[in-house]
Amino acid sequence: MVTNYQLYHGCLDIILWPILLHVSITLVLKRYGINTGELVGDDSDRQRAKITKRIFAAHKVFDKKTGGYFNGQTVVLLYLVTAKISLPVGFRFYQPDPVVVEWKKYDNKLTRNHLNAHQNLKQIQLIQTSKN
């Protein structure tokens, strides 16, 4: 049981949560005798505040319902689906690749100036190699 002292003084920071998740999933699989299943991925977009500089993995997300954009996070969950039960076995926050984001900005700039990105492929490669 977690006490207020542990919460206040940050004693829960020393718990290795990924190892705890792994061990608990292994225990459930052994207890129920499960040895087959399928891994299924699921992602969901979570809208956050307008200014998201301090929120981890926040980026511009396309809203399928309205056709607009919002600042938010994309949570990707990995489930193990079996005949008996379904278990979450992992999760990550999706972050767009910064190189691809820069390339899209550059490609949009070329498109606005009525230039073809394929004609300027060498310039794009130079930009990518100079940033690395």
| Closest by CA position to 116, among listed 125, 124, 107 | 107
Q: Is pLDDT above 60 for 1? A: no
Q: pLDDT tens digit string along 59-109?
A: 888 888 888 888 888 889 999 999 888 888 888 888 888 888 888 888 788
Q: Is pLDDT above 70 for 5? A: no
Secondary structure (3-state) at 9: helix
Q: What pLDDT, on the 0 to 100 scale, is given for residue 39?
A: 92
| Closest by CA position to 123, among listed 64, 113, 22, 9 | 113
Q: ∠1-18-84 over CA atoms, to 5°?
A: 85
What single string gives the DSSP state of each residue in 60-99?
A: EEE-TTTS-EEEEEEEEEEEEE-SS-EEEEEEEEE---HH
Q: What pLDDT, on the 0 to 100 scale, is given for residue 81?
A: 93
Q: What pLDDT, on the 0 to 100 scale, is given for residue 44?
A: 84
End-to-end CA distance of the chain: 48
H/E stretch holding 104 reads helix 98-112
Q: What pLDDT, on the 0 to 100 scale, is given for residue 114?
A: 66
Q: pLDDT tens digit string along 6-63?
A: 556 666 566 677 888 889 889 989 998 988 999 999 888 888 888 878 888 888 888 8
CA distance 49 to 47: 7
Domain boundaries, the chain: 4-96, 97-132
